[in-house]
Structure formats: structure tokens, C-alpha cells
Amino acid sequence: MPVISAAHELIESDVYIDLQPTLGRRLYAKCEGFNFGGSVKLRSAVSMVEAAERDGVIMEDSILVESSSGNLGIALSVVAASKELRFVCVTDPRCNEASIQIMRALGAEVVVVDEMHPTGGYLRSRQDHVRSLCERDPRHLWLNQYVNEANWRAHYETTAPEMVKRFPDLDVLFVGVGTGGTIMGCARYLHDNALPTRVVAVDAVGSVTFGRPPAPRYIPGLGAGVRPPIVDRSLIDEVVHVTEADTVRTCRMLARHGFLLGGSSGTVLSGALNWLERNDRDHRLTCATIAPDLGDRYVATIYDDPWVVDHFGEQALRYPPEEGNP
């Protein structure tokens, strides 16, 4: 086990769930929630802050600021606290209350933007607020995960090589898409090393990332109301879209086996199962996915019966869903 002296130093994860006994598939989930940020976003947070430090743009009085629906905000709160920096997270009402409390406990300032942009949703509203902060006070430094190359480079340099080392003959890699950092880092690494692994993107229904029409989304994490500029579709072999009701069902099914995973993880695993059911009926492929987060921050939403019924109906409590019901 590593010995660390700062909270942001613990980012590598060599924990995989073999889902064969649970799901009957040769599917491995790389668990990225076992760090002080609680998600894969700690990799991006460390990479972006340290790139800014190398570039000399973080001054003594700098205030880091970022738009986030939760996980990156927590990750940056950890890094900022660890490096004794100030941080402001601009989020929206979909952010879990537990995530907001965690960020504040770590010393971050949290601003909740509650007005939705008419075309860009909460994401555009958050970005507009960040721009306004930077214009009013030049001490604010926007790391801008949506265009920052250090976001995807974190996964090019760490996540992808770790997975290739563990599974050198991997057939398919499923990766959830939020800002696009994780999937672009992994896809570029596989492409640059001429590896034959297929890359399947998993997105949320209601996200506009891959040209689908926008729709209300209630679970923070994957998906976007504005197309992420760093996503290069040419490096992605296929895209699977997952309804939030299916995210809930998958999360709750896995919880019954002891795996309390987060919304992003449930979405990716639901998409992987859907793809495998259509494309691997003989169960021959060896596949892996990245499970970005754990489920403790979702106990008041995904794992709360009244919340689920209120947002998705009683059918979302059942796995598998009944024939003819969404």
C-alpha cells in the first residue's frame, strides 16, 4: 500500500470488480472511488492544478474556480485543501446535498446557480457564472475542465496504461462521458499505441454530447447540456445512451450484491450490459469499464424509494424492468 503525505497523492486504483458471478458477463469494473476525492475526477483535478502550477498561472492570491455537478468539485476541494489554495465550485440544484456538504467541509465555497439557461441548461448557466466571477475579480482562475488538455492527459498517462497492463487482450472498453476527459485520454492512448480494443462511449439520455436532443436529467455526473469541445467522435467506435431509470435499476441491483456504486458507475454498467446483450450473445468478449464513483453520495436520491418513484415512477424500483415499461 502507498504511503502518502498529502490527500491528493492517492490517485491510482488497482481495484477491479469481476462481474461474472453477479451479471454472468466477462466484464470488469475498475473502481475509481477509493481515494480522498471519492471518484475518478481526482485524477483530472490533480492534473489540471499541477499543470497550472507548472505554467505559473497560480499566484499567491489566486482563487481556483470551476463548474461542476459534484464529483470534480469535490476532487478540486481535496486538491485545493491539500495545497492550501482557495476554491469556488459553481454547481446547480442537481448536485447532491451530500456533495455540497463535503465540499464545504473541505473549505471550498459553493455557489448554487438555480436558473437554467434556455438552450444550454444548467451547464451553460454555471459556465456563465464562472465567467462573471473571473471578469469581476481577476484573482479567479478558471481551470475549465471542458477544454483543458490536462483533463484528458490525466487518463492518457495513468488510467489507460493501468488498464492495458491489467488486461492486455481487452476486447471492449466502456467509458462514461461527461466532460469527455476520461474517454478521450483512454481512446487516444489506445489509438496511439495501435491497440485493437473497441471504445464504446456511454452517455445519458437527455445529453446533447452526441447530437441527441436535450431533455431533463436529474442524476449528476454523465451527460452534458452543451457539447464538450474535447470530445473527438472519430476516436470512439460506438455510443450507447442510457435512461436515468435504467441507471437507478442497475445501481440498486448491484447494491443488492453489496456493491454500492454511484450514478455515473450505474450508467456506465447499464450501457455496457445493454451493448453486450446485443453484441456478445456467445459471451466470448473480455470487457472492462471504468466505475467512476461510489454510492454513498446518492443514498438520498438513487437509493431512496420515494425520490425514485417521484422522478421515474415505481417501475424504476424493479430490475429487470417489466415488459413494455421504460
CA angle (222, 227, 310) in 5-degree steps:
40
Nearest to 75 by CA among 33, 111, 112, 113: 33
Region 212-241 average pLDDT: 93
Residue pair 71/58 in contact by the 8 Å Cβ criterion: no
| Helical (H) or strand (E) element with 279 | helix 263-279
Least confident window among 80-84, 117-121, 213-217, 312-316: 117-121
How far from chain centre, in Å, is Cα 23?
Answer: 22
**116 pLDDT band (50/70/90 cuts)?**
confident
Query: What is the pLDDT, as a whole number, of residue 320?
Result: 67
**69 pLDDT band (50/70/90 cuts)?**
confident
Residue pair 292/32 in contact by the 8 Å Cβ criterion: yes
pTM here is 0.93
- Which residues are CB-contacts of 193 (< 8 A; sequence separation ≥ 6)? 164
Nearest to 236 by CA among 191, 275, 273, 271: 191
Query: What is the pLDDT, as a whole number, of residue 130?
Result: 95
What are the structural domains of the chain? 7-35+149-317 (3.40.50.1100), 41-142 (3.40.50.1100)
